Structure 1
C-alpha cells in the first residue's frame, strides 16, 4: 500500500492543494518533490534504478550540495554510470530549482528504463511532483497516469494525480481518485483535506465538511485541514469561527503556503463578504 512502490522522501510533509477565497483554483502546492531534492530516494532496492557506492555518494551529495551532485552525476555518466547517474542528475536539477528540466529527465528515464515496475513507478512519481513544481498540471497528470499503470494500488500516486486534476479544474475526476486512495489507506488526513476542497469547488459543502471533520479527528493539529474548515465556516456565515481556524493554521505552520493562504483569507474576511 503506502510507499510500497515509490520512494520515501526524507523531510517530506503533507502539502495542501487548497483554494484561496476569491482565487478560484487549487493552490499549486509545494509537493513532496521539493523534499526529493534534499533526500534522494529511499533505501529499498525495489524502488531504485541503481545500487552501489557511486549512487550512495550521489544521494549524499544531494542532501549537502546539489551542484556537486550534478557534477558527480555528469562524470559518473561519462564513465558508464547508466540509469543511476541519470537519475541522480535529474534529482540534482530539481534540488537546484530547475523542476521542468528535472521532470523531463525523470519522465524520459522512466520511459526508457528496463528496471522493475516498482522502480519505474517511483521515478514517474518524482516526475509527477516535479511537473507540479514547474506549474505544468497536464504533464503531471500524464506522468501520474503512467505511474498508476505500473502501481495501480499506490494511494500516494492517486493523490498526486488528484492534485493535478484539481489544478485543471477536473474536480469530479479528482474525487474519484481520492475515493480510491481512501479505499486503500483510509487514515490519511491529507487525502481527506484534498477531497474536501474538491467537494467545495463543486458546491458540495456538506460532503466537504464531513471530510474535514474526519481529517481533524485523525489529526487535530493539521494546518491544512484548519485552513479548509475556515473556508467552509466562512461560506456558512461563521466569520468568527473562520478567523479562529485561520489564525490557528498560521500558528501551526508559520512561513508556509498554508499560512500565506490563511493570512490572505483573514484579510479578505476583514475587507468584506466572502468571495469565491
Structure 2
C-alpha cells in the first residue's frame, strides 16, 4: 500500500461458507490494536518539528501525538494536525483520524500530490473504521486530484470489494496493475475480484502473477487456496492454507486459512 497498510475488521462469514465473499485482506485490527504507520508520509511542511513528529509515529505514537498537540498550540498549523491525525490512526482511533485527515486534505494549500496522499490516508482510516463507503468517497476525492496513482486505485478497489462491487473494483485494479505492474497487492485483489465475478481462469492468472512477484505473500497464498478450492483442487487449497499458517501463524490470514482447513476436514456436509 502506498501510504498506510491498514487492516480492518473482517466479515464474519467463513470463506467457503460464503462462497468467497469474506474479505481476507481486511482482517483483525480493532480500536485496541496499533495500526502500522506509513514509511514515507506525504510532507505538508519542511518544519523540523514535522519531520521529528512523523519519525516518532512508528515507535512512539503517543509521544508523536503529544508533540503534535503542543506544536499545534504554538502555530504548527496543518502539519501539526496531520501528524496528530496519523498518531490517532496508529493508536487505533480510526474514525477520528479519518475525519481529521479529510479536513486537512480539503483545506490544505499543499500541492495536488500531497493533498491526494492525505485523502488516501483518510480512505485507509475509514477502511480501518469499517466504513468502506466513506473510504470509497475519500479515495475518489484523492483520485480526482491524481487520477493515475496505482496505490490509490488499489485502495479504492479494496473498498469497492468491501462494498460487494467486484466489477467496479476490477476496473480500478486493472488500472492499478497497468500503472505499476509490480504492485503485488493489486494483483491479489484483482484475482479476488475476478473470482467473485466467477472468472476463474483469469483469476488464477492474476494470483500467479502476484505470487511470482512475492512467493511468500500470505494474502496471495490464501487467495490462491480459495481459487483452487473453487476449482475443485482441495489438495492444492490445503497446501496453500497450511503454508499461510506456517508463515504467519498469528496473523488474520492464518486465522481464515485455519477456518477453511477445518471446513475441508469437516467434509462437504458441513460447508
TM-score range, shorter chain: 0.7 to 0.9
| Rounded Cα–Cα distance in structure 2 between residues aligned with 1:89 and 1:274 | 51
- How much does 1:274 deviate? 8.8
- Confirm or deny that 1:59 pairs with 2:59: no
Name 2:140's counterpart in structure 1: 145
| Rounded Cα–Cα distance in structure 1 between residues aligned with 2:124 and 2:270 | 30
Name 2:36's counterpart in structure 1: 35
| Rounded Cα–Cα distance in structure 2 between residues aligned with 1:137 and 1:194 | 15
Q: Secondary structure at the match of 1:190?
A: helix
Q: Name stretches of at least 5 consecutive residues in structure 1 with no aligned partner.
A: none
Deviations 1:128-153 (A, max 9, x none): 11110000000100110010011111
| Rounded Cα–Cα distance in structure 2 between residues aligned with 1:69 and 1:13 | 19
Name 1:242's counterpart in structure 2: 237
* Matching of residues 100-249 of structure 1 within 5 Å: 100-249=95-244
| Rounded Cα–Cα distance in structure 1 between residues aligned with 2:81 and 2:226 | 43
Contact 1:224/1:258 (CA < 8 Å) preserved in 2? yes
* TM-score normalised by structure 2 residue count: 0.88
**Residues 1:264 and 1:30: Cα distance change in structure 2 (over 3 Å):** closer
- Confirm or deny that 1:255 pairs with 2:250: yes
| Rounded Cα–Cα distance in structure 2 between residues aligned with 1:190 and 1:275 | 32
Contact 1:73/1:88 (CA < 8 Å) preserved in 2? yes
Contact 1:99/1:131 (CA < 8 Å) preserved in 2? yes
Name 2:31's counterpart in structure 1: none
Deviations 1:100-134 (A, max 9, x none): 00010001110011111011011111111111000
Deviations 1:168-196 (A, max 9, x none): 00000000000101111112232111111
Q: Secondary structure at the match of 1:27?
A: coil
Equivalent pairs counted in the alignment come to 261
Contact 1:27/1:167 (CA < 8 Å) preserved in 2? no
- How much does 1:28 deviate? 5.6
Contact 1:235/1:274 (CA < 8 Å) preserved in 2? no
**Residues 1:106 and 1:198: Cα distance change in structure 2 (over 3 Å):** same
Q: Secondary structure at the match of 2:35?
A: helix
- How much does 1:255 deviate? 1.2
Contact 1:128/1:144 (CA < 8 Å) preserved in 2? yes
| Rounded Cα–Cα distance in structure 1 between residues aligned with 2:181 and 2:59 | 36
- How much does 1:214 deviate? 2.0
**Residues 1:272 and 1:124: Cα distance change in structure 2 (over 3 Å):** same
| Rounded Cα–Cα distance in structure 2 between residues aligned with 1:274 and 1:79 | 65
